[in-house]
Structure 1
Amino acid sequence: MVNSAVVYRCFGEPLMTLQYEHSELGSLAAGNIRVKMRFAPVNASDLIPVTGAYRHRITLPATAGYEGVGVVTEASGDAVALLGQRVLPLRGQGTWQQYVDCPAAFAVAVPTDIDDSLAARAWINPMAALLMLQHFPPAGKQVVVTAAGSDCAGFLAQWARLSGATRVTGIYRSAIHADRLAANGITPLADTATDAIQQAARDAEVVYDATGGALAALLLSAMPRHGQFVSYGLLSGQPFTLRQGQPAVHWFHIRNYLDTLPAAAWQQAFGTIWARLRHSPCAGVSLFGLPQWQDAVRFYQTAGRTTRPVLAMD
């Protein structure tokens, strides 16, 4: 059986480095299941590793993609109960391919009322948001979320409110996100409104930041010293300087929490994620065929887009 996949054999700019290739599928390893993929989204977390940012923990050649949804087509032992079921084939091979093999213990069954386009996006951003809120609780606090138009920040903002935050301010880059934020009970704030950002920071007890750079520095300079600044991304491409007298900065990397998460706790976390996703508005999707992966990446890189590019395998 032939498998088609988007792979990289060296590190570099994704559009120049990734290649669409075909290869024969090997035999299924013990303890694994084989999943025929339906959808796989395009995220920053899919593209950054291709650049070589995490080269110390990536073995080449590698297949791009970290999340997605598909149907189990091959299994053995206790996992035969999963045959024909929709699952998230996570923590195995890359997901930008037609067939994915993954450890059966970490395959997540998808509830029947969750459609494929939402299930495909149910790991990276929802799990990161859930873990950040558990480790840096917002209950009873005023919260600021940067990059508020992104999926992860959207979950952070909505779920911070559910977790008891007294106020959530979402800082956005594109004005197209303002109405949606306000409709979800989040105070929208343009990233160019320097004075208003400083005022929001003075009141903030927790900041979840995905941008870094000048915005992170501005927030830190105005926050109360007892506040918590949680940095989980550098979308600006720029670092920021830590200064004496400013709040504590906590660096959040989802992989640091997943490496020690046993299968039972992993499955339990998704029970919470499914419950929350059912009631959390999120962006729609734009579908691209797997051979059109370059168009999907270019679309992802388009400023002001309101939908998430998703690769459709069929």
Structure 2
Amino acid sequence: MNSLLRYTRFGEPETTLELIPQPLDARHESHLRVQMLLSPVNASDLIPITGAYGHRIQPPLVAGYEGVGIVTQAPASFAHLTGTRVLPLRGHGTWQQFVDCPAELAVPVPEDISDALAARAYINPLAATLMLKHFPPEGKRVLVTAAGSECAQLLGQWALKFGAREVIGVYRSATHAKKLAAMGIIPVAQRDHEAIAHYAQNAGVVYEAVGGELADTLLTHLPDSAHFVSYGLLSATPFSMQKRAATLHWFHVRHYLAAMDTATWQAEFKQIWSLLRQTPTGDVTLFPLAQWQAAIAHYRTAGRTRKTMLLFDV
């Protein structure tokens, strides 16, 4: 039997998800079967449940896009992975006890990487490395918005590693200011429009995830040479497309996945493991799968500083 969090219609995750038992399907001969250990709660897990991407996904679906688990069954050519930890990615949803995924796309986890770190090594780290690769920060002033988020903090820290002149982090909750400063990121409150306008005037790259008024302020003050990379809309409010001088880019990880062969995919994670070993990522709060509603409530807590994780029985 399998336990899984699925939704059969779009709506708010708290009321749309349901935890159900279900017999395990037969495993496809080219897939691994992975018994999950941990899976994080991200905005990218919750937003699709609301129907925001209804033009390209349709329920019934199992929620969750990343996590770590132990291989329990494998094709003969991947038998060496049995009993080891992997990231079971790009298969079925990860908020379930057992996940089947294409064997060649499962990412082996190095022994020195903890479960809590491995579980969150896909969504935010891959987005950060791809943005930094395609919109390089070297020698530039960099701005990141939603700076309290894990993705923005990875972007900020790794931009400095990749040669950014300085990184400014625009945060909403004051609880993040001290942590950002300790990372070498200059913290600026989202309500401080004057400071944001000042820093934007000489910015080279903006990695932006909020939209709305904040994005409009940045676009108004950025120089012609700047690159504005929009990768989220946490405010749920669009920004103006008029009267902007900077070059606007829309970033979505899925747009890059189709072009990656298996070797490139696995190589991306070799770089991610190397970067994560050197990067403070913060503590986690664990919730058993049966307490999934409490986990979502914790994720939505304003000023939250700990990563929310679902814990599976093994």
TM class by shorter-chain length?
over 0.9
Check whether the contact 1:151–1:283 (CA below 8 A) recurs between aligned residues.
no
Cα distance in 2, alignment partners of residues 76 and 171 from structure 1: 47
Structure 1 residues 250-291: Cα deviation after superposition (integer angstroms, max 9, x where no partner): 000111111221111000000000000001111211000001
Q: 2:261 corresponds to which residue?
A: 262
Q: 1:48 corresponds to which residue?
A: 47
Check whether the contact 2:219–2:244 (CA below 8 A) recurs between aligned residues.
no
Report runs of 4+ in structure 1 exceeding 4 Å deviation: none
Structure 1 residues 110-140: Cα deviation after superposition (integer angstroms, max 9, x where no partner): 0001000010000000000000000000001
1:211-290 equivalences under 5 Å are 211-290=210-289
Cα distance in 2, alignment partners of residues 283 and 53 from structure 1: 29
Q: 2:163 corresponds to which residue?
A: 164
Cα distance in 2, alignment partners of residues 248 and 158 from structure 1: 23
AA in 1 matched with 2:51: G
SS at match of 1:57: coil
Cα distance in 2, alignment partners of residues 304 and 59 from structure 1: 32
Check whether the contact 1:31–1:104 (CA below 8 A) recurs between aligned residues.
yes
Q: 2:94 corresponds to which residue?
A: 95
Q: 1:61 corresponds to which residue?
A: 60
Q: Which runs of 5+ in 2 are unaligned?
A: none
SS at match of 1:225: coil
Q: Per-residue deviation at 1:57?
A: 2.2
Q: 1:16 corresponds to which residue?
A: 15
Q: Per-residue deviation at 1:107?
A: 0.3
Q: 1:112 corresponds to which residue?
A: 111
SS at match of 1:203: coil
Q: Per-residue deviation at 1:184?
A: 1.0
Check whether the contact 2:220–2:244 (CA below 8 A) recurs between aligned residues.
no
Q: Per-residue deviation at 1:33?
A: 0.4
Cα distance in 1, alignment partners of residues 153 and 104 from structure 2: 29
AA in 2 matched with 1:66: Y
AA in 2 matched with 1:266: W
Q: Which runs of 5+ in 1 are unaligned?
A: none
Cα distance in 1, alignment partners of residues 150 and 208 from structure 2: 13
Cα distance in 2, alignment partners of residues 191 and 59 from structure 1: 35
Q: 1:25 corresponds to which residue?
A: 24
Cα distance in 1, alignment partners of residues 51 and 261 from structure 2: 28
Cα distance in 2, alignment partners of residues 151 and 307 from structure 1: 10
Q: 1:135 corresponds to which residue?
A: 134
Q: 1:5 corresponds to which residue?
A: 4
Q: Per-residue deviation at 1:244?
A: 3.4
Cα distance in 2, alignment partners of residues 9 and 261 from structure 1: 31
Q: Normalized against structure 2, the TM-score is what?
A: 0.98
Q: Per-residue deviation at 1:218?
A: 0.3
SS at match of 1:49: helix
Cα distance in 2, alignment partners of residues 58 and 167 from structure 1: 39
Structure 1 residues 47-93: Cα deviation after superposition (integer angstroms, max 9, x where no partner): 01101111232242100000000000011221111000000000000
Sequence identity of aligned pairs in percent? 55
Q: Normalized against structure 1, the TM-score is what?
A: 0.98
Bigger mean CA offset, 75-84 vs 97-106: 75-84
Q: 2:192 corresponds to which residue?
A: 193
Check whether the contact 1:90–1:106 (CA below 8 A) recurs between aligned residues.
yes
Cα distance in 1, alignment partners of residues 59 and 208 from structure 2: 31
SS at match of 1:233: coil
